[in-house]
Chains A and B, each alone.
Chain A
Amino acid sequence: MAGQTDQLIKPGTGHGLLDVYGDRFLLKLLVRKEIKVRYRGSVLGLLWSYVKPLVQFLIYFVALGIFLNLQRGTPNYAIYLFSGIVLVNFFTESLSNATRSIVDNRDLIRKIYLPRELFPVATVWVSAAHFLPQLLVLVGACLVVGWAPTLLQLAAVVLIFVMVAVLGTGLGLLFGAVNVYFRDSENIVDMIVMVVTWASPVLYLWSMVQKVMGDWFWIYQLNPMTVAVEVFHWAFWEPTLKADQLVNDASPPGMLTFWLPVALLITLAVLFLGQWTFRRLAVHFAQEL
């Protein structure tokens, strides 16, 4: 702080996401506050972040796995299903809360200058705090059915987690900033959230889509969430299959060598677009809220 005293600076200008890194302490407090406040006065507290996805999983499993009998064609369908659901939940929670974060914190933004990127970033961290217990449940379930992943698969899990967090941050910055001007943004995001579960192979197999789309299958693969879910299947579901259960087309061709880099590039592009839009719109947040 002392170094700044001898020069004149322009107030209210920052370096976007870089400032969030400089304000790690405040970010930590904001995340802690969100977690504390969300479960205030509830008996189960953080347990709710286990209960909700568990119920969601049971519904899908009973309806699709048992009633529609998808588990006959897909061995260990429960694992297949749950590994996709937790990832999609992480993404949708990040995105929808980040979108609302600027408007929800309007009292603060109107009165005190802070790097405004803090709010969407904090919501993504909160979502991550809800994602990790679910991931533990998934790992537990996988171990029960004999999960033996390779080191590469574990590394891929970490990479995908970071990628989805970045994707949620990028889109959250974009829609959160637009939401200040047009509250329609929230509704658009609600729609994206609804679509995303079905636009990725969470409930069905990717090969079913390829059969229908044929040569146009690459469009489906351009969705970074699709690739993320496929990689999660490869890391969690495939290593639980026994030799006689192995499906020969468990992952789409070129998933790791081609589609994963493409997904990472798209994710980075989304982050830059989100940050760029956010920076441009943030100048007038205080007077528009």
Chain B
Amino acid sequence: MTAHGHVAIICTDIRKQFVLRHTRSLKEALVWLVKGRKGDLSKKFLALKDVSLEVKQGETVALMGLNGSGKSTLLKLISGVLQPDGGTVRTRGRVAGLIEVGAGFHHDLSGRDNVYLNGAILGMTEKQIDEKFDSIVEFSEIGEFIDTEVKFYSSGMYLRLAFSIAVHTDPEVFLIDEILAVGDEPFQRKCIAKIKELSEMGKTLFVVSHDLDLVATVCERGVLLEHGKIVMDGEVHDVVNELRRRSLAL
């Protein structure tokens, strides 16, 4: 394994609060003001409570927990999509999220146009995309369909292309959210092999998945979240066992 160097991600006491049932019209807000601010216009929900976490460069971390434990929220805070309400997040190097691949796809554009658009959205330069274009197409197994509009793609082709672009973006830190379930079994194996290859190259991986066996093979370290708090942080198999034990107890 590669030597772990500098810190790649530091989270200190981060707190994230969501407002549920937010009013969407000026009228409702005005009525609420006129009535003397009676009643709650919104309901608050604490998704993360004082979470502190440090990830070193080259580490592979699996973030685990049941639904609603705050995994995706933590990932979005690290990627910068969300900002914490308390505490700080700091990252080193370029961070790219493989968060729900294909978010930047446009159905009416060809595969080729989408490779450029998505590559740029994920932070690649024109030169980088030019260089990696063939490799992206090859990995995705799209072949001659690259100039077809993506709306005619099968869902498997779509995901394969999106995943292929994402793994070619080459950031220092990869955030991966529930995307390992891509395509059929052979392609999935290929994806996992690619992710392992990335980690061997010394990339920092931060993976969120419900597929416990899979994360145990990809990652070394496990972090267990429960109701927005870190309840365990250790060797990945221990954390997987702990999560299984806790789920059975429910």
Interface set of A (CB-CB < 8 Å, partner B): 1, 4-13, 23, 25-26, 29-30, 33, 36-37, 40, 107-114, 182-184, 283-284, 286-288
Contact = CB atoms under 8 A, between A and B. Distances in A.
Contact of A29 (B80, B100, B117): B117
Contact of A287 (B80, B82, B90): B82
4 closest A-B pairs by CB: A12-B80, A11-B80, A113-B80, A8-B90
B92 A5 contact: yes
A11 B78 CA distance: 7
Contacts of B241: none
B42 to A, nearest CB: 11
B29 A182 contact: yes
B91 A9 contact: yes
Contact of B126 (A1, A11, A25, A40): A25
A233 B144 CA distance: 53
Interface stretch (B108-116, B186-194, B223-231, B232-240): B108-116
12 contacts: A8-B7, A9-B90, A11-B95, A12-B80, A12-B81, A26-B120, A26-B121, A36-B109, A108-B121, A184-B25, A286-B76, A287-B19
Contacts of A40: 108
Contacts of A109: 81
A112 B166 CA distance: 12
Given A40-B108, A112-B103, A284-B83, A11 B91 contact: yes
B88 A10 contact: yes
B25 A182 contact: yes
A29 B120 contact: yes
Q: Majority SS of interface residues in chain B? A: mixed
Contacts of A26: 120-121
B24 A182 contact: yes
Contacts of B121: 26, 108, 112, 114
A288 B103 contact: no
Contacts of B120: 23, 25-26, 29
A260 to B, nearest CB: 35
Contacts of A6: 6, 92
Contacts of A12: 79-83
Interface of B: 6-7, 10, 18-19, 22, 24-27, 29, 76-83, 88-95, 97, 99-100, 103-104, 106, 108-109, 113, 116-117, 120-122, 125-126, 172
A129 B185 CA distance: 46
Contact of A283 (B83, B104, B126): B83
Given A4-B94, A8-B92, A108-B103, A29 B116 contact: yes
A174 to B, nearest CB: 15
A113 B81 contact: yes
B93 A4 contact: yes
Given A5-B172, A36-B113, 16 more contacts: A10-B91, A11-B91, A12-B83, A25-B120, A25-B126, A30-B117, A37-B106, A111-B81, A111-B99, A111-B103, A112-B99, A112-B104, A112-B121, A113-B81, A114-B121, A182-B29
Contacts of B18: 287
Nearest to B127: A25
A213 B10 CA distance: 63
Centre residue among A23, A29, A182 by max chain B CB count within 10 A = A29
A196 to B, nearest CB: 22
Given A1-B94, A36-B109, A112-B121, A184 B26 contact: yes
Given A26-B120, A26-B121, A108-B121, A9 B92 contact: yes
A183 B108 contact: no
B97 A112 contact: yes
Nearest to B177: A111
A113 B103 contact: no
Centre residue among B10, B19, B22, B82 by max chain A CB count within 10 A = B82
